[in-house]
Chains A and B, each alone.
Chain A
Amino acid sequence: MNKEASYQERLALIQKAINLEPVDRIPIAILGPAFAPRYMGMPLSEFCEDAEAALQVTLEATKRLDADAINSLVIGRFPVILTLIWLSHIRVPGRELAPDALWQVDEAEVMTPEDYDFIVEHGWQAFLNQHLPKVIDPAYLGESLAFMGANASRGVPLFRENGYVVIATGAVTIPFEPMCGARSMSKFFFDLYRMPDRVQAAMDRALPEIIAGGIGLAKAGGAMGTWVGGWRAASAMLAPKLWNRFVWPYYLKIVEALVAENITPVLHFDQDWTRDLVRLQELPAKKCILNLDGMTDIRKFKQLVGDRMAVMGDVPASLFASGTPDAMRNYVRDLVRDVGPTGLILSSGCDMPVNAKPENVEAFMAASREYGKTA
């Protein structure tokens, strides 16, 4: 089968998964910014510094594993992306860290309570303009953004030429996440207690700009979808009253805005969201993909929401890093049995970790192909 035919077949499988239609085989996606360079023998310092090399090594890893798709493709220096998500300084291999060490989120209290008022008065971008230089070198950021701007649209056709689908480009998240990173976790959570109205006013002011930015990034990347990220806002962290006020309404607005633009929201929800899975019933049916990392009860998702939403995942990082090929096979087998075959995209939960054992990754691919056949 030629590459374009492969691409079309794979695209159809993923679209059928989203549409909850029967498939001949369950599609397989991979993810793992740090895994690709480690797997292919590239130092992480090079991966972080050379965005072109990072793109190419990600493609080569996808080809070597011969997955159907990549969950999310990052064009640009990955640590810079993390700074833009969590507004925190990132320690980078080859700069502050040893050349093959994993990047580190270096969270500290940088944003102040007065910044909530600043956001209300001046807007989100104005806040970013003054905040980002505190956590990343402006010249380095400028250079990185220039590359991203110039190359954002290259990834999807590049992968397509090689027969692979890119499910998501770009990322957007609720104001909760970057504010939590910028304030630092403990300070932010106490802000929710001590000054909830002030925080909410800033979130409400920021959201339209965040949505516009997310749509812009998604369109620039050109994939079918974009990430809608959730990490610290998980149900397992936050009291229900606060989750209902500061988390869910914002996700609802983001998803509705993306769907209106024909962009598939890939709800990349790390940690445990089991308590609030039922809220996903409020989202447009057969328009989203829920991407779980192994900590949410995926079987409960299937029971509550499986008739209206696809799921991607959810092989845990710990299984890739510390498990065995047999344990991997059993996990995939049980996942297909309980959650598939319709509406399922087999994938690592979140990233394939940097220390994923190659034999476990290869076992994941083999098991996914074997147990994913439905015809």
Chain B
Amino acid sequence: MHLLLFAGFLGSGKTTLVIPLSKAVVQSGYRVAIIVNEIGEIGIDNQLMRQLDLNVWELVAGCICCTLSGDLVTTLQNVDSDYVPDLVIVEASGAANPQSVLRALPYYRGRSLTSVRIVSVVDPLRLAMLMEVLTPLVTSQIQHADVIVITKTDLAKPEEVEFAHRTSRELNLNARIVSTGVRGHLEPTLISELLPWLN
């Protein structure tokens, strides 16, 4: 089973990527499960995903912190046994540090994870502000990424996109950095970057 974890602050465009990506994977004949963890506006994105016939599980926040990683592992195991997906996409909450999520994975007891990849979604329209306010969180989200997706390139100014690209590279020397607009379909090259195992 492959695991793809999407990290990025609230409103950065995670769901906008997850939906077409999931549909592309389904159309390729694979089973996809989506685990969503939201702090605010619970259920809105999930409703949208379900309307599009995507299989969604929710992580619910009893508190907003400590129980989340335990819930992820339990939910992952339940998804694995109940649905047997080829790919699980985890859309983490905007306040989630990927490291915290990864720390819980050793407790996972389902089928082995063929790959675990972190996708950091970076919003060029707000990155400068986020770096000023949430420096450690945003830094961690970028540093631990395997792929960094700079979104909303069709809305951002060129200098904002350039800042996002430069900042991402400074924080993460090894991740692939790709860009996408907020509208339009997902480019096949982007899908390949996120899911290199997909035919």
Whether the pair B133, A316 counts as a contact (CB closer than 8 A) is: no
Q: Could you say which residues of chain A place their CB within 8 Å of the CB of B132?
A: 193, 239
Q: Which of B18-26, B93-101, B174-182 participates in binding chain A? A: B93-101
B137 sits at the interface (CB 8 A): yes
Q: Give per-residue flags for A311-345: 1 if the beta carbon is below 8 A from chain B beta carbons, else 0.
A: 00000111111110001000000000000000000
B39 sits at the interface (CB 8 A): yes
Whether the pair A318, B104 counts as a contact (CB closer than 8 A) is: yes
CB proximity of B14 to chain A, nearest CB, Å = 13
B64 sits at the interface (CB 8 A): yes
Whether the pair B133, A192 counts as a contact (CB closer than 8 A) is: yes
Q: Could you say which residues of chain B place their CB within 8 Å of the CB of A102?
A: 60, 62, 67
Q: Could you say which residues of chain B place their CB within 8 Å of the CB of A186?
A: 9-11, 40, 94
Q: Could you say which residues of chain B place their CB within 8 Å of the CB of A293?
A: 65-66
Q: Which residue of A lies closest to B75 (CB)?
A: A355
Whether the pair A231, B94 counts as a contact (CB closer than 8 A) is: no
A24 sits at the interface (CB 8 A): no
Return the contact of B70 from the options A240, A242, A317, A327 (Cβ within 8 A): A317
Whether the pair A237, B95 counts as a contact (CB closer than 8 A) is: yes
Whether the pair A236, B137 counts as a contact (CB closer than 8 A) is: yes
Q: Give per-residue flags for A24-54: 1 if the beta carbon is below 8 A from chain B beta carbons, else 0.
A: 0000000000100000000000000000000
A107 sits at the interface (CB 8 A): yes
Whether the pair B74, A355 counts as a contact (CB closer than 8 A) is: yes
Q: Which residue of B lies closest to A191 (CB)?
A: B133
Interface residues of A in 267-314 (CB under 8 A from B): 270-272, 275, 293-295
Q: Which residue of B lies closest to A97 (CB)?
A: B60
Whether the pair A321, B71 counts as a contact (CB closer than 8 A) is: yes
Given contacts A185-B95, A231-B63, A239-B133, contact A321 B70 (CB under 8 A): yes
Q: State the majority secondary structure of interface residues on A.
A: loop
Q: How far is the CA of A271 from the CA of B93 in the complex (A)?
A: 14
Whether the pair B11, A351 counts as a contact (CB closer than 8 A) is: no
Q: Could you say which residues of chain A place their CB within 8 Å of the CB of B41?
A: 107-108
B109 sits at the interface (CB 8 A): yes
Q: How far is the CA of A323 from the CA of B61 in the complex (A)?
A: 20
Return the contact of B65 from the options A231, A239, A354 (Cβ within 8 A): A231
Q: How far is the CA of A240 from the CA of B115 in the complex (A)?
A: 35
CB proximity of A327 to chain B, nearest CB, Å = 8
A366 sits at the interface (CB 8 A): no
How many chain-A residues does the 8 Å CB contact rule pick out? 49
B153 sits at the interface (CB 8 A): no
B134 sits at the interface (CB 8 A): yes
B69 sits at the interface (CB 8 A): yes
B135 sits at the interface (CB 8 A): yes
CB proximity of A155 to chain B, nearest CB, Å = 21
Q: Could you say which residues of chain B place their CB within 8 Å of the CB of A125?
A: none
Whether the pair A322, B109 counts as a contact (CB closer than 8 A) is: yes
A103 sits at the interface (CB 8 A): yes
Q: How far is the CA of A103 from the CA of B42 in the complex (A)?
A: 12
Q: Could you say which residues of chain A place their CB within 8 Å of the CB of B69?
A: 316-318
Q: How far is the CA of A293 from the CA of B104 in the complex (A)?
A: 13
Whether the pair A190, B133 counts as a contact (CB closer than 8 A) is: yes
CB proximity of A318 to chain B, nearest CB, Å = 4
Whether the pair A350, B65 counts as a contact (CB closer than 8 A) is: yes
Given contacts A102-B60, A239-B136, contact A294 B66 (CB under 8 A): yes
A232 sits at the interface (CB 8 A): yes
A235 sits at the interface (CB 8 A): yes
B197 sits at the interface (CB 8 A): no
Q: Could you say which residues of chain B place their CB within 8 Å of the CB of A350?
A: 63, 65-67
CB proximity of A233 to chain B, nearest CB, Å = 11
25 inter-chain pairs at a CB distance below 8 angstroms, sorted by A residue, are A106-B40, A107-B41, A185-B40, A189-B133, A193-B133, A236-B137, A236-B140, A237-B137, A238-B133, A239-B134, A270-B63, A293-B65, A294-B66, A295-B65, A317-B67, A317-B69, A318-B104, A319-B107, A320-B70, A321-B67, A321-B70, A322-B73, A349-B66, A351-B62, A354-B67
Residues of B within 8 A of A (CB): 9-11, 39-42, 60-67, 69-71, 73-74, 77, 94-95, 97, 100, 103-104, 107-109, 129-130, 132-137, 140
Residues of A within 8 A of B (CB): 34, 82, 91, 101-108, 184-186, 189-190, 192-193, 231-232, 235-240, 242, 270-272, 275, 293-295, 316-323, 327, 349-351, 353-355
Closest 3 CB pairs of A and B: A321-B70, A322-B107, A350-B66
